[in-house]
Amino acid sequence: MNVLDRPPVPPASSDTRVPVFVPYVGVDTLKHLTDAFDVGWLGMGATTKEFEERIAAYLGLRDRYVVATNTGTSALHIALLAAGIGPGDEVITPSFNYCADHQAVRATGAEVVMCDIRDDDLGIDVASAASLITPRTKAIIPLHFSGIPCRIDEVYALAAQHGLRVIEDACHGFGSTVNGAKIGSGGDVHCFSFDPVKIITSIDGGCVVTPHREEVERLHRLRLLGVDKDTTLRYQNKRAWDYDVVSEGFRYHLTNIMASVGVSQIKRVDEFIASRRAVCERYSAAFDGLDGARVLRRSYADVSPFIYSLRVLNGKREALIEHLAARGVDVGIHFVPVHKHTWFADAPRSPMPVTERVVDEVVTLPLHSLMAERSIQRVIDGVTSFFA
């Protein structure tokens, strides 16, 4: 059978289990891949540039610039460096996140300082962040948890008061909106992720969105080993042979092959997001009001949902996990708070009463693009039967 005649990877589980994540990869993605291989330029090139342009068009960017990278963590690292973060500086971010932000901060030589989150949206608690500001503080990294926008206007007000940079971790929120505009289309710097389980994937990848034209060339150099003029030629599937290395740099660029997957996915992003919103709203309608459970949202109209998290109260989370496992429903936990990890145990932090409570309650339920009805219903039946 020709590879292009194969059916897509099913966007649903098998009949035995419903996994937490199922990336949707169809024949359209296979076609983009084979076309990219046929071009014969496998490294960073014209398709990388096309992916950046499609990201910019989708987000509705004006006077803002997209720099694609090989991972979301790479995007965070070079965004911090381009913002001038380095040894002796401090960067404030919630502990309630995956460790990528915190590792990226330390990779610059700066110190990560951890704050609490809000109880309602699990986004950054600005009052907690404000309590941690010192003369060494240079930036704040808020997370849009699960794609739900945090109180970002409050973050920018705090940053303006103290002259701080804001680097938004939008890795969960590609397509979410704030005040009617997509996250990334305003404000300071944003970082997105296109890893294997995100709403759209480039197998692995990410990008920085910045409004600062003077930072773009530095971002280009940082993602490609400090080389001064290779990006322009590589965007034409060519290479420069008379280059100079003018700064520190890393091998963080996104290849044509990975970008071709991203291009195939972004063409369908509205379809993916609409399907995921519908599932989240069905979940919330079914779970809101259950005795012992708490939903984050009823309406997802402004959310591009990466995951669906349910809070399980009264110490019953482990029992729910076992109940669902027996019914063939897998779950995840987002997150183990970063201050609990050995590597970050000595990092400065504020009191975290909300974080400490929430991390024992949250459970991540299966959520897929174009999720099969039988999988949706199995999750709903599993959760409601436990609380019933």
CATH for 269-387 is 3.90.1150.10
* Overall size of the chain counted in residues: 388
Question: Are 296 and 146 spatial neighbours (Cβ–Cβ below 8 Å)?
Answer: yes
What's the one-letter identity of residue 11? P
Q: How far is it, in rounded angstroms, from Cα 337 to Cα 340? A: 6
Q: How far is it, in rounded angstroms, from Cα 367 to Cα 277? A: 10
First to last CA, the chain: 48
Question: Are 354 and 295 spatial neighbours (Cβ–Cβ below 8 Å)?
Answer: no
Considering the domain delimited by 27-266, tell me its CATH architecture. 3-Layer(aba) Sandwich (3.40)
What's the one-letter identity of residue 201? T
Query: In 3D, which of 244, 202, 217, 245 has the Cα closest to residue 81?
Result: 217
The predicted pLDDT at position 6 comes to 38
Which whole number is the average pLDDT over 92-114? 98
Q: Is 345 buried (19+), middle (13-18) or exposed (0-12) by CB count in 10 A?
A: exposed
Domain ranges in the chain with CATH number 3.40.640.10: 27-266
pTM of the prediction?
0.94
Residue 88's CB is within 10 A of a number of other CB atoms, namely 10
The predicted pLDDT at position 14 comes to 52
- Band (223; pLDDT cuts 50, 70, 90): very high
The predicted pLDDT at position 11 comes to 45
- Residue pLDDT, tens place only, 301-343: 999 999 999 999 999 999 999 999 999 999 999 999 999 999 9
- Band (15; pLDDT cuts 50, 70, 90): low
Which whole number is the average pLDDT over 216-225? 97
Which whole number is the average pLDDT over 74-100? 98
The predicted pLDDT at position 8 comes to 43
Secondary structure in 3-state letters for 97-158: CCCHHHHHHHHCCCEEEEECECCCCCCECHHHHHCCCCCCEEEECCECHHHCCCCHHHHHHH
Residue 94: pLDDT above 60?
yes
Q: How far is it, in rounded angstroms, from Cα 247 to Cα 228? A: 8
Residue 12: pLDDT above 90?
no
The predicted pLDDT at position 150 comes to 98
Which whole number is the average pLDDT over 33-62? 96
For 274, phi and psi rounded to 5 degrees? Answer: -60, -40
The predicted pLDDT at position 229 comes to 77
Sign of the torsion formed by the C-alpha atoms of 158, 341, 356 and 147:
positive
The predicted pLDDT at position 134 comes to 98
Residue 9: pLDDT above 60?
no
- Residue pLDDT, tens place only, 255-267: 999 999 999 999 9
Residue 24 CB-half CA count within 13 A = 22
- Residue pLDDT, tens place only, 206-215: 999 999 999 9
Q: How far is it, in rounded angstroms, from Cα 300 to Cα 285? A: 12
Q: How far is it, in rounded angstroms, from Cα 340 to Cα 353? A: 14
Question: Are 92 and 132 spatial neighbours (Cβ–Cβ below 8 Å)?
Answer: yes
What's the one-letter identity of residue 103? Q
Beta-carbon contacts of residue 33 (< 8 Å; ≥ 6 apart): 257, 260, 261, 264
Residue 59: pLDDT above 90?
yes
The predicted pLDDT at position 232 comes to 83
Residue 183: pLDDT above 70?
yes
Domain ranges in the chain with CATH number 3.90.1150.10: 269-387
Beta-carbon contacts of residue 374 (< 8 Å; ≥ 6 apart): 12, 15
The predicted pLDDT at position 71 comes to 98
Q: How far is it, in rounded angstroms, from Cα 247 to Cα 230? A: 13
Longest dimension (CA), the chain: 70
Query: In 3D, which of 83, 232, 221, 281 has the Cα closest to residue 165?
Result: 83
Read off the tokens for 379.
Answer: 């999750």
